[in-house]
Amino acid sequence: MSRLELYSPEGLRVDGRRWNELRRFECQINTHPNAADGSSYVQQGNSKVLCLVKGPMEHGANLAAGTKLDPNGPVLSLNINYPPFASNERKKRPKNDRRLQEISIILKRCFMKTIVLKNYSRTAIDINLTVLAMDGGLLACFCNAITLALIDAGISLYDYVSAVSVGLYDQTPLLDMNALEENDLSFVTIGVVGDSDKLNLTLCEDKLPLDKLERLISLGIEGCHRLKELMDLQVRVAGGQLQERQ
């Protein structure tokens, strides 16, 4: 039994949002111009993630020696840093945390469908993710941060992929869950391509009733479209600044 009302009959969630409201979303790109080819910082509520992209390169730094480059497209490698201070309990994560491994496979699959592959044959792209603080929506933050960093690195994408988590409280779908809500409720994370209804990413780690899934996803898509607008705005601001400087 949760100590708190996760969704009150008056229609408010634990943090005061309504069911269809996103958390505060902030992002920046080109945060580390000297350290990487592309970089970004994404903050959804109290979840903060940093992403550095290197590439396209002829040799991937993260690649194991002897890995063959692919003539049909880039080899993506993904590394997730989840330092102990980022979560509430300061516990060290094992090097090959299974959950993080699974997440990185899903992200790779998602971005292999988003990057224009033919432009990057026989190259490597390294993605480094660092969690600074986590308050729910891990996968969604990762996905948004990667999209922005890839754009900053100038890697051609078909479109933005914006992601958000959607949970189910009894019969009510809740958009953009925080950690408290994630602990108690089943949820699904989806990533949407641009302004379309196409999903490049879905992950559901709990049981969800099938008949509710459609409502959850349609709410999620709306949320993703709003996030995409916010991300696009930031990219254009950064682009404008770049132009001024030159």
Partner 1 sequence: MASVKRQRPTDGLAVTQKVFVRSRNGGALKIVREHYLRDDIPCSSVCCDDCEEYYRPSPDGQPSEPILSGEPLEITKNGIGRHYLILDTNVVLNAIDLLESDKVFYDVVIPQTVLEEVRNRSYPIYMRLRALCKNDDKRFVVFHNEFKTDSFVSREKGESAQDYNDRLIRKCALFYSQHLAKHKLSVVLLTSDKNNIEKAVNEGIRTMSLHSYVSLLPNYSELEDMLPSNETFSRQLTEISYQEYYSPARLMGGIKSGTLFQGTINISSYNFLEGSISVPSMPKPLLVLGRENLNRSFNGDTVVVELLPKNKWKKPSTEIVDEETINSNGVGDEDEDEVVISDQERRLLAEHAVAAQGEDQKVIPTARVVGIVKRSWRLYVGQLAPNSASKDQVGGNAAKSCFVILMDRSLPKVRIRTRRARELLGKRIVVAVDSWSPTSKYPDGHFVRVLGDVEDKDAEQEALLLEHDVEYRPFSKNVLDCLPKEGHDWKVPEKLDNGDPQLAQRRDLREKLVCSIDPPGCVDIDDALHAQRLPNGNYEVGVHIADVTHFVKPGTALDQEGASRATSVYLVDKRIDMLPMLLGTDLCSLKPYVDRFAFTVLWEMDEDANIVRVDYFKSIIRSKEAFAYEQAQLRMDDPAQQDELTQGMRILLQLSKKLKQKRLDAGALNLASPEVKVHMDSETSDPGEVEVKKLVEANSLVEEFMLLANISVAKKIYDEFPQVAMLRRHAAPPATNFEALNDMLRVRKGMHISLESSKALADSLDRCEDPQDPYFNTLLRIMATRCMMAAEYFSAGNYGYEDFRHYGLATEIYTHFTSPIRRYCDVVVHRQLAAAIGYEPLHPLHRDKAKMDLVVKNINKRHRNAQFAGRASIEYYVGQVMKNTQSVHEGYVIKVFSNGIVVLVPKFGVESLIKLESLGDIRTSHFDEDLYKLTFTDKNGSERQVSVFDRVQVSVTSQLDEMTGKRKAQLLLA
Enclosing H/E stretch for 234: helix 210-245
Among 72, 171, 243, 246, binds partner 1 (CB under 8 A): 171
Nearer residue to partner 1 within complex by CB, 152 or 181: 181
Nearest to 116 by CA among 68, 156, 164: 156
Provide the CA 234 distance to its chain's centre, in angstroms. 16
Nearer residue to partner 1 within complex by CB, 11 or 154: 11
Nearer residue to partner 1 within complex by CB, 1 or 65: 1
Shortest reach from residue 205's CB to partner 1, in Å: 15
Shortest reach from residue 32's CB to partner 1, in Å: 24
Q: Does 173 sit near partner 1 (CB under 8 A)?
A: yes
How many Å apart are CA 160 and CA 40, to the nearest integer?
Answer: 14
Site string for partner 1, 97-136 (x = CB under 8 A): --------------------------------------x-
How many Å apart are CA 224 and CA 195, to the nearest integer?
Answer: 8
Q: Does 191 sit near partner 1 (CB under 8 A)?
A: no
- Strand pairing class (124-133; 75-81): parallel
Q: Does 3 sit near partner 1 (CB under 8 A)?
A: yes
Q: Does 236 sit near partner 1 (CB under 8 A)?
A: no
* Type of residue numbered 36: A
Among 28, 46, 79, 81, binds partner 1 (CB under 8 A): 46
Give residues in contact with partner 1 (CB under 8 A).
1, 3-5, 8-12, 14-21, 23-25, 45-46, 88-89, 135, 170-173, 178, 180, 207, 209-211
